[in-house]
Amino acid sequence: MQEPGFGSVGLPCRTMVEREAIVATLVEDRTALAFREFFRNPLAVGSAFPASHFLVDAMLGPVDWSRMERVIEYGPGTGIFTRALLDRLPGHARLLAIDTSPAFIGHLRGEMRDRRLVAVTGSADGVLEIMAAQGWDRADCILSGLPFSTLAPERAERLMEASACALRPEGKFLAYQMRRAVKPLLERRFEEVRVGFEWRNLPPCHLYWASGPG
């Protein structure tokens, strides 16, 4: 259960003015962290700008999260989607967030005091090993913000193969991307792939919902 506080951030009870000031500081800190990590490793970080609420709602809206028990997030960054997932997942669910950036993982661990969240520093390529270390067999859903357009083709194929193996037969793979590089990868590994687009984000993003890993 989430510790007492203000949303997923875990702020103690304060006056409205104090809460607004703290939230403004947290937003500023997240934005600075996102920019710093993007410029440190632009090929691994999808964007220097945190996701907008338009993107979050468009990406997560079509999924019934109340039925999800094991969810994996690739590239959580500053945790915009992580927080939204925790808000939607049931109390018994688990969320495994994987990022290569120790700074992002440290940020998640420090800001989100939720027993359902496990934040791990590592590469999504090793998702099966990371799951095994957590005692997981298969996941219900994977959400990815990783920029597949910057991955070497061989690595992108391996990552998608491992992801398909990590999911239950009825599992889903969701991705938000600036480019369309992930679409053919999904079409080769999943029975159904639906697409969308959200322009009210900086940058605008292509959205993908894939189901039926094979």
For 41-91, write each residue's pLDDT tens digit. 454 444 446 889 999 999 999 999 999 999 999 999 889 999 999 999 999
Residue range 137-157: mean pLDDT, rounded = 95
Rounded Cα gap, residues 156 and 137, in angstroms: 22
Query: Residue 26 above 70 pLDDT?
Result: no
* Residue 1 counted as domain residue: no
Residue 170 domain flag? yes
Whether residue 185 is predicted with pLDDT greater than 80 in this model: the reply is yes
Does residue 138 carry a pLDDT above 80? Answer: yes
CB proximity list for 161: less than 8 A, separation 6 or greater: 189
Q: What is the mean pLDDT of residues 102-111?
A: 91
pLDDT for the residue numbered 104: 86
Instruction: Give me the pLDDT at residue 214, please.
Output: 83
pLDDT band at 122 (very low <50, low <70, confident <90, very high): very high
Domain count, the chain: 1
CA angle, residues 21, 198, 171, in degrees to nearest 5: 100
pLDDT value, residue 14: 57
Nearest residue to 167 (alpha-carbon basis) of 86, 74, 72, 79 = 72
pLDDT of residue 51: 87
Mean pLDDT of the chain, nearest integer: 85
* Cα torsion 122, 125, 130, 136: sign: positive
Lowest-confidence segment of 28-42, 86-100, 199-213 by average pLDDT: 28-42
Is 2 within the bounds of a domain? Answer: no
Residue 19 in this model has a pLDDT that exceeds 70: no
The predicted model gives 117-144 an average pLDDT of: 97
In degrees rounded to 5, what are phi and psi of residue 211? -140, 160
Is 7 a residue whose pLDDT tops 90? no
Assess if residue 57 is contained within a domain. yes
The CA distance from 83 to 65, in Å, is 13
Cα–Cα distance for residue pair 132/155, rounded to 1 Å: 21
Q: Is the dihedral of CA 74, 76, 80, 82 positive or negative?
A: positive
159 pLDDT above the threshold of 90: yes
Position 199 scores a pLDDT of 97
Q: Is residue 145 part of a domain?
A: yes
Q: What is the DSSP string of 72-104?
A: EEE--TTSHHHHHHHHHS-TT-EEEEEES-HHH
* CA-angle at 209, arms to 207 and 213, nearest 5°: 140
Whether 183 is covered by a domain: the verdict is yes
Domain that holds residue 165: 7-213
State residue 49's pLDDT score: 64
58 token code pair: 């468009």
Q: What is the CATH number of the domain that holds 67?
A: 3.40.50.150
Identify which has the larger pLDDT, 103 or 97.
Answer: 97
Question: Which of the residue ranges 35-39, 131-135, 180-184, 207-211 would you say has the lowest mean pLDDT?
Answer: 35-39
Instruction: Identify the pLDDT of residue 28.
Output: 46
